[in-house]
Structure 1
Amino acid sequence: MESDIYSKELAHYFDMLRVSRKMTLEDLTHEIVSIRQFRRYIRGEYQMPQIVFNKLSTRLGFKPEHVLLEFENVKLAETKKMNTLHNLVVNKDFQAANLIIRDIDENFIIEQNNLIMFKFSKLLMDYYLENISPENFIDEIKILIHYDSLFEKSILSSTEVILLTSLLPTEPFREKDKVIKLLENFLNKQKTIVSGHNDRLILLCLYYVSDYYGTQGKFEDVIKFCKKGIEYCNYLRYTYLLQDFYYFSALAYYYLNKFEQYEMMLYRCYCVLNAEDNEAKQKNYYQMIEEDFNIQYEVFIKEYLENRIKKAQ
């Protein structure tokens, strides 16, 4: 299966190179392979033989080994761009996200997971901007990841998990318990997620489990899973989702009337947000925190630090 996918992506890359070299499909494939067969390679119906790969590379004017090296480099750059796009949308920096979207031709995305992430990022932005209803968002996500088949799999991809977890915050989604159980199975190592960035997937799962238990009013569980997330971030020296673990912890401690811990978590959240040079993200979190706790965040931090200094004297 993986070799079929690789061959499909490689055929797609050859087609991109053909366009960039201003060649017709006939120019590329003449006396090497039929156009019909080449299109089968692009659709992933057949694997491309090595001899065909070598001849197509030569026809384009490249050494086969150079084509392979550049193919991998292009895929890495493409993945990096999709991750950047997704992060911009999640942090609601829609202006910067739109600049990337305008620069991408969906027809020339090589890797299937990257194509899914591109479509997902656009869907998520439309959802945030209320251009589509929550119900339509859920339906489109389910189509993208073949939702009904996911729970029968023992191994999931990171892309499947990212899209699956995006359903959890949507109000009309009625199978949250089912998804949370799947995530907890992963955290307990009863299910495998294949990813080159598995550490981030663990943090993402901890984030959604913490968030879910908060909506259920199970604040001790929120604190437990957030503590794991904070410890894991510190161990890996990551700041990914760290502000969220502090933010969720602050909310949980607040509702449990543990105000000393709540204030400390809000202070640490502030430190993480201000350590990162991301004005849009900072503005978004400040707004949430000020609404949730009915405070002016900067004033709160000033008073918190003044009180710490007094206690230390």
Structure 2
Amino acid sequence: MKSQDLCGYLERLRSSRNISQEIFTNGIVSLRQYRRYLSGESDIPFQVADKLSERLGVQTINLLGEIEATRFEEKRKVDKFYNSVVNNSKDDVLSMITYFENLQFIDPENKVLFLHGLSLYMLITDQDTRSVTVQKNKDLIAYPAILKRTIITLNEMVILSSILDYSDDPNDTQEISEKLKQYLENRSFVIGTGHEPIFNLVLFRLARYSGKNSLFGDVINYCTMGIERNHSHKFYYLLDYFYYYTALAYYRLGEMEKYQVTLIKCFNVLQTEGNQKKIDKFTLLINQDFNINFKEFVVSYYQNQTQE
């Protein structure tokens, strides 16, 4: 466990009990040094952590268990907040913002994801411009210095992909796409990929960027990764988009049989989920992008399959 995480939890307990920092640290450590522990400038010695825990009436060994449980719950809530932002569920977002803005985060990674999600919400609700949003997210991950690092976290990867989405600077987007591609080629350099559905969001953004730049082979590769992750981990996150973008890439490449098969898979995913708003949205997109009537295409495809 990181020293800063431990200090963050001690600070959270202190604040909830309305004890001033001066009283909390008196006779144990200087206030200036305590704040160094909180900022991560210095690691807190076990003896100091033990005395501070005792002042709060908590045994250190029990404190460590509480921290892990609280960190897990904190992550669950941040993930829920971020998903609400991405899915444009404004009422859910508003109900959570006040809670997080007054929270002393235990895990700095959770705070970073919250601030990233908040910046996207500010953009979606027209409270910030695209350029302001891009700069906020650059500041969150120390861009462009991050591009020189060998190892990054999944959250940093997600934020990089969001800059890819919103930046109008072609130098930024090209550098970021190349860097993200390197990380995908060796995922051991990315901390926290595991079973996280949010990793699919990175693949989705890369596929969309590649499509805009007519890199259809890359679109197919990124979407294939996303499809395989969904099947492997048994979730559907962005699976409809992965099939849709793959079909569109095959269509642009003139590979008509592959485009038709993949578009039918997109149809099957939409029907399985049963979200009528999403079905209507994709039907409109597909009608426009492929110059077809999607419903008639599906009926015709299955009729031909039956005849064969």
* TM-score, normalization by structure 2: 0.85
Contact between 1:113 and 1:159, CA under 8 Å: does it hold in 2? yes
Contact between 1:167 and 1:173, CA under 8 Å: does it hold in 2? no
List per-residue Cα deviations over 1:50-107 (Å, max 9, x = no partner): 1121122222112211111101111111112112211221122222222221322345
Q: Counterpart in 2 of 1:115?
A: 111
Q: Counterpart in 1 of 2:230?
A: 233
Within 2, Cα distance between the matches of 1:99 and 1:274? 31
Q: Counterpart in 2 of 1:133?
A: 129
Shift of residue 259 of structure 1?
A: 5.1
List per-residue Cα deviations over 1:274-311 (Å, max 9, x = no partner): 5448x6xx73674355145339xxx8347614751564
Q: Which of these residues, 243, 265, 288, is aligned with residue 294 of structure 1?
A: 288
Q: Residues 125-204 of structure 1: matches in 2 within 5 Å?
A: 125-170=121-166, 172-174=168-170, 175-189=172-186, 192-195=189-192, 197=194, 200=197, 203-204=200-201
Contact between 1:85 and 1:97, CA under 8 Å: does it hold in 2? yes
Shift of residue 134 of structure 1?
A: 1.3
Q: Counterpart in 1 of 2:30?
A: 34
Tell me: CA distance 1:303–1:152, structure 2 relative to 1, closer, same or farther (3 Å).
closer
Shift of residue 235 of structure 1?
A: 3.1
Q: Counterpart in 2 of 1:90?
A: 86
Shift of residue 141 of structure 1?
A: 1.2
Contact between 1:106 and 1:115, CA under 8 Å: does it hold in 2? no
Q: Which stretches in structure 1 are left out of the alignment for 5+ residues?
A: none
Contact between 2:243 and 2:266, CA under 8 Å: does it hold in 1? yes
Q: Which amino acid aligns with 1:240?
A: Y
Aligned-residue Cα RMSD (Å) equals: 2.9
Q: Which stretches in structure 2 are left out of the alignment for 5+ residues?
A: none
Q: Counterpart in 1 of 2:51?
A: 55
Q: Percent same amino acid among aligned pairs?
A: 29
Q: Which amino acid aligns with 1:143?
A: D
Q: Which amino acid aligns with 1:226?
A: C
Within 2, Cα distance between the matches of 1:16 and 1:7? 14
Q: Counterpart in 1 of 2:241?
A: 244
Moved more, 84-93 or 145-154: 84-93
Tell me: CA distance 1:89–1:275, structure 2 relative to 1, closer, same or farther (3 Å).
farther
Q: Which amino acid aligns with 1:67?
A: L
Moved more, 210-219 or 18-27: 18-27
Within 1, Cα distance between the matches of 2:49 and 2:131? 44
Contact between 1:230 and 1:242, CA under 8 Å: does it hold in 2? yes
Q: Counterpart in 1 of 2:206?
A: 209
Q: Counterpart in 2 of 1:101?
A: 97
Within 1, Cα distance between the matches of 2:39 and 2:29? 15
Q: Which of these residues, 3, 9, 13, is aligned with residue 5 of structure 2?
A: 9
* TM-score, normalization by structure 1: 0.84
Within 2, Cα distance between the matches of 1:274 and 1:96? 26
Tell me: CA distance 1:260–1:202, structure 2 relative to 1, closer, same or farther (3 Å).
same
